[in-house]
Amino acid sequence: TRLLGDSTQVVAASLAGIGAQVVSFSNTEVKLVAAASSAKTGDVVLVGETGGLVTKTNGWEYREQGAIVQVDPSSGSGGTEVLIIGSNLLGHGDSFASVTLAGVAPEVKLSNNLFLRVVAKAAAATTGDVVLTANTGA
């Protein structure tokens, strides 16, 4: 409680010394989007429009980011089975909230923290990113 201190809004925030995007705030809950960082622990700092600070010492831990190291094959059409290999793909969560290949959600056949086996769905020819979003939001 009293996350706003003597202010009426949160105008800035940081997590372990890294600026974070303020999504919403109230006196009892503040939602932030963490920026990318290397693994480290540090304070959560909320700054009100009056300049007042609300701090939670060592209240945030950045964890090792996931990385995709291989996508095989790197192109295909509907029905193509694709293997996505990497590390920490689950973003310290336990499932994937979404997976897309060039903006199209494939059928996920098998997944864990190190790889996913998916089947591409039919779509117009395009080039794009492989995006994995864990249930943690990472």
pLDDT means per 10 residues in the chain (138 residues)? 90 97 96 92 96 96 93 95 97 94 96 97 92 92
Closest by CA position to 91, among listed 45, 129, 42, 36: 36
Q: What is the pLDDT of residue 24?
A: 96
Q: What is the pLDDT of residue 13?
A: 97
**Separation between Cα atoms, residue 51 and residue 10, nearest integer Å:** 10
**Separation between Cα atoms, residue 113 and residue 91, nearest integer Å:** 8
pTM of the model: 0.75
